[in-house]
Structure 1
Amino acid sequence: MKKITLLLLPLLLASCQYFDKQVPDEDEFLQQRLKEIDWKKVSSYPSLAECDAITDKDLKKECFFSTMTRLVQEKLDTDTIAMLYPEIDTIQVKVTVYPDATLKFEPQIPRDSVKYDSVKIDSIIKARLVDFPKIEPAQKEGIPVTTEFILPVILDVK
């Protein structure tokens, strides 16, 4: 037993050098971590309940955008925009998803065009685009963030 203790004692004393590492400075570590973060991309895109089962990031993003486009088109299908302005077949709708999961819709109609009553179109769209399913906001490093995107909405005349 003494021989084993004598053999282990030098090993233990020599191994202390592995525990004597310098801890990086907090500010230095923070600056290094901030440089690593890509501020132009989110960690996870907004999501709807029907897309939650998908684990692949790109497929989940595609599911969200296609589902949102479908929901917006369904809400605007029963609308008078296509009847009032038959020359408009597609409207670009800017969607903003806030960190508290609220939505804001803004139609992107050319403001320089005098043949469209943009105020009227805007009010019709905002009145129709209510009661959406709960949306999980996008996240950046685990923190909910605001995201904006533009959906092309095809107006269908019935």
Structure 2
Amino acid sequence: MTAATKRKHVIKEVLENFSMPAPDQTIVKVLGNSGSNLHEVITPSGERFLASLPVKFRKNIWIKRGDYVITEPIIEGDRVKGEIVRILYAQHIKEIKICKMWPKEFEEKVNDFEIVKETEKLKISNESVEGSEEDSDDDDLSDIFVNTNRPPEIFLSDSEEETSDEE
């Protein structure tokens, strides 16, 4: 089986073949990557441990900080206490919530994120409606979303260059 075919089958399995977590499986949140296909995770009870990513997911599926995964415990592990069984996407989380199996500790954080997204959508729609009106009171830019993933832009004034050229 070629790498492309394997990738296709793994992605199809992750996205389409969803089953609810078994009693011995736990829904955890990924806190970060520790290297060597190990991810630091936190359980709803607050326990932190390392979980390994199985070989079939490596180089096919990526996990980032803040994602939710389902893990199975590893009995003989000292540092690595779990193995990632499934990566949860938005549609999977919705199905788990419908079945009332989603941990309450993660519920609030997901709802806060959804509320922030909704308020951003409302701000964007209000700005487009009020775009034709020019009010000097709306010049306060403190409530605009700032993308922290990009470095801040520095704007240089052209007026300094013009004054030095005139002299």
- Larger RCO (CA within 8 A; separation ≥ 6): 1
Instruction: Please classify the TM superposition score into its range, dividing by the shorter chain length.
Output: under 0.3
How high is the TM-score relative to the length of structure 2? Answer: 0.21
How high is the TM-score relative to the length of structure 1? Answer: 0.21
